[in-house]
Amino acid sequence: MRILAISLGLVSAVVLSGCMQTDGERALAGAAAGALVADATDNNVVAGAALGGAAGALCDDMGVCRNY
């Protein structure tokens, strides 16, 4: 069940990243995905959301999820 939740979170984050136009939208999607993965793996949900939000906000700057 954990693997399914993690896979679903990662797939939905990748799919939604194409729809995101601003850093704020990507941060919210990253925070949601981070919280989902942290909960599925019995880790701290707040820390997962914080890390996911930071990754989402910075992914465009790092060239990972550029919108062309």
What's the rounded Cα separation, in Å, for the pair 43 and 26?
22
State both tokens at 61.
Answer: 């700057």
Residue 11 lies in a domain: yes
Residue 63 lies in a domain: no
State both tokens at 13.
Answer: 């984050």
Q: Are 30 and 52 in contact (CB under 8 A)?
A: yes
Residue 20 lies in a domain: yes
What's the rounded Cα separation, in Å, for the pair 67 and 28?
17
Residue 44 lies in a domain: yes
Residue 65 lies in a domain: no
Q: How many domains does the chain have?
A: 1
Residue 66 lies in a domain: no
Give the predicted TM-score (pTM) of the model. 0.69
DSSP 32: H
What are the residue ranges in the chain where pLDDT is below 50? none
Residue 68 lies in a domain: no
Residue 45 lies in a domain: yes
The boundaries of the domain holding residue 32 are 2-58
Helix pair angle (45-58, 23-40), 10° resolution: 150
